[in-house]
Amino acid sequence: MKNPFQGIAESFILTVGITPPTPEKERAATIFISAMLFGTILFALAVGVFILRRII
């Protein structure tokens, strides 16, 4: 059974079309890609909240 984060990273790799990591680097790539995607989502939410607070 795959880790959900591995599935997210694999989907990202296949969607974007980047070269898949070697088996030795797969864990580090999974952590990096998942952290970057969640960081982007959190940043977008923070900007949205900031803009909404400035409007209201």
Give the pLDDT confidence of 13-47 residue by residue, as tens digits. 999 999 999 999 999 999 999 999 999 999 999 99
Chain Cα centroid distance, residue 6: 11
Q: What is the pLDDT of residue 56?
A: 83
Give the three-state DSSP class for 25: coil
Q: What is the pLDDT of residue 19?
A: 92
Report the pLDDT averaged over residues 3-16: 91
Q: What is the pLDDT of residue 27?
A: 92
Do residues 27 and 3 lie in contact, with contact meaning Cβ atoms separated by under 8 Å?
A: no
